[in-house]
């Protein structure tokens, strides 16, 4: 879990965007917008408090309708998801928008109003295909993406990364598809597994993608599968003409993956991928052989054993969370240093891959919990208490630049230039690369004339490359 880490899972956040962006500028835009590149800060015309990042494909034309993906990052980084999605959006012809305002901690009423403002502005600027409106988010932003679909409606599919649905008091009444992503070392791994299973008994068309990773945005290669999902479903629903070349190519890619798994002899993994192939291509290609194989695999003792082991692993993980979670508020830094050393040693020496993943996910859980506590206290200007949890955060997740960045924020608010530069430099040295978060936080503006600040910004910009 690096600098994109999210807040506690039940907190909502969200924002939509709106914009225009064509070199011809026939739409009375005050802000010039260029096609084929990410515009980092576009302000809504009717409310300048609302801003977002924007990507228009290089072939953008005002006369054509476009599918749209609206993205939500838990820390309000509109550019982060667009950087991950833009290559596929360019190839397939999608407009992308990423909120610079939506972040963890916003109440749903404010988020809902924000979304309405942005959607109104967006549809006034662009010729959007209203049947192909998608939301995408990571962690708290993922909950925003699903909340919009559930409570607002009008969303064709949600792309949810590392967090599921909000708590609901009644059944879902809106119709949308869902594709989830979770790293095998993600603290919300079990939540995503359980959500996927619960949707088996729901009318929501769904798929879960597991990848090697932690609680972070997936890589662009992994997240690219979201486009396969929404493209194929658009063809199934006659929202887009069937492209046989595209269908056959993607099916061939999945067959290649399946052949590799079959050579390894892992029946449980073969079962999961065969089930995915049937889910993706049902109604678009001849998949009878895969359907027949899926039935055989479902009856296989190896597959049944794999399913049972997965259940047992989730129970072990929950027990560890319940053991360590309360100690964040009761134990001091010295205790945590000792305990984290034990857990890290276990990861290095254990030969049980399942148990190693469990411990890694528990460490992710503790990292996120300490971040959530420190961020909440920071928001209340309770800086001494916030610093205690930041210290724990840095112990639990020592290679993460986020604790140092949070220290820098605290000292910037205290107007302590030396301490601010010290911790911001440490964050940069650990790989902090989100310059937009500094640009969008007014507390750092007072240091623009400081040569040290300029040098640190240079490091941060290099980290991004």
Measured N-to-C along each axis, helices 333-349 and 383-396 cross at an angle, to the nearest 10 degrees, of 20
What are the extents of the domains in the chain? 38-241, 330-464
pLDDT of residue 30: 59
Tell me yes or no: is domain 330-464 CATH 1.25.40: yes
Q: Determine what percent of the chain is predicted with pLDDT higher than 90.
A: 77
Residue 323 pLDDT exceeds 90: yes
CA 71 to chain CA mean position, Å: 9
Residue 24 pLDDT exceeds 60: no
| pLDDT tens, position by position, 383-417 | 999 999 999 999 999 999 999 999 999 999 999 99
Residue 19 pLDDT exceeds 50: no
pLDDT tier at 123, thresholds 50, 70, 90: confident
Structural element, H or E, at residue 72: strand 66-72
Take residue 304 and report the two structure tokens written for it.
């049944």
Measured N-to-C along each axis, helices 140-147 and 108-125 cross at an angle, to the nearest 10 degrees, of 70
Residue 167 per-residue DSSP state: P
Take residue 13 and report the two structure tokens written for it.
């956040």
Backbone angles phi, psi at 31, to 5 degrees: -105, 120
Q: Which CATH number fits domain 38-241: 3.40.50.1820, 3.40.190.80, 2.160.10.10, 3.30.43.10?
A: 3.40.50.1820
Distance CA 202, CA 150 (A): 13
pLDDT tier at 8, thresholds 50, 70, 90: very low
CA 70 to chain CA mean position, Å: 12
Nearest to 84 by CA among 210, 186, 185, 218: 218
Neighbours of 240 (CB within 10 A): 19
Residue range 429-450: average pLDDT?
91
Take residue 231 and report the two structure tokens written for it.
């493209």
| pLDDT tens, position by position, 125-148 | 899 999 999 999 999 999 999 999
- The 3-state DSSP class for residue 113 equals helix
């Amino acid at each position: 879990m690096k600098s994109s880490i999210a807040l506690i899972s039940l907190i909502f956040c969200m924002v939509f965007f709106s914009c225009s962006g064509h070199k011809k500028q026939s739409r009375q835009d005050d802000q010039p917008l260029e096609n084929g590149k990410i515009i980092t800060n576009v302000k809504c015309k009717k409310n300048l408090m609302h801003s977002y990042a924007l990507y228009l494909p290089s072939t953008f034309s005002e006369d054509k309708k476009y599918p749209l993906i609206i993205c939500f990052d838990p820390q309000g980084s509109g550019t982060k998801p667009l950087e991950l999605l833009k290559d596929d959006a360019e190839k397939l012809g999608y407009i992308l928008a990423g909120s610079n305002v939506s972040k963890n901690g916003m109440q749903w009423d404010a988020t809902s109003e924000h979304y309405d403002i942005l959607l109104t502005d967006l549809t006034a600027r662009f010729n959007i295909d209203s049947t192909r409106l998608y939301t995408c988010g990571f962690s708290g932003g993922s909950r925003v993406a699903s909340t919009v679909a559930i409570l607002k409606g009008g969303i064709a599919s949600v792309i949810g990364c590392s967090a599921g649905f909000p708590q609901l008091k009644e059944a879902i009444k809106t119709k949308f598809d869902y594709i989830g992503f979770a790293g095998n070392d993600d603290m919300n791994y079990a939540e995503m597994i359980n959500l996927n299973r619960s949707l088996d008994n729901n009318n929501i068309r769904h798929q879960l993608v597991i990848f090697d990773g932690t609680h972070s945005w997936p890589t662009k290669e992994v997240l690219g599968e979201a486009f396969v999902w929404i493209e194929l479903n658009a063809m199934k629903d006659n929202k887009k003409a069937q492209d046989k070349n595209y269908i056959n190519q993607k099916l061939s890619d999945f067959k290649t993956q399946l052949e590799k798994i079959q050579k390894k002899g892992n029946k449980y993994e073969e079962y999961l991928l065969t089930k995915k192939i049937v889910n993706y291509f049902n109604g678009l290609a001849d998949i009878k052989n895969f359907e027949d194989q899926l039935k055989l695999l479902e009856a296989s003792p190896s597959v049944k054993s794999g399913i049972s082991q997965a259940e047992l692993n989730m129970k072990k993980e929950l027990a560890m969370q319940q053991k360590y979670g309360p100690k964040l508020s009761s134990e001091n830094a010295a205790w945590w240093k000792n305990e984290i050393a034990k857990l890290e040693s276990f990861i290095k020496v254990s030969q049980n891959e399942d148990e190693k993943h469990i411990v890694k996910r528990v460490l992710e859980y503790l990292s996120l919990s300490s971040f959530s506590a420190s961020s909440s206290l920071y928001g209340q200007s309770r800086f001494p208490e916030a610093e205690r949890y930041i210290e724990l955060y840095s112990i639990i997740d020592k290679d993460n630049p986020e604790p140092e960045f949070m220290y820098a924020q605290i000292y910037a608010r205290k107007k302590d230039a030396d301490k601010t530069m010290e911790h911001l430099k440490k964050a940069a040295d650990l790989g902090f690369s989100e310059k937009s978060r500094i640009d969008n936080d007014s507390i750092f503006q007072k240091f623009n004339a400081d040569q040290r600040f300029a040098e640190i910004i240079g490091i941060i910009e290099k980290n991004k490359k």
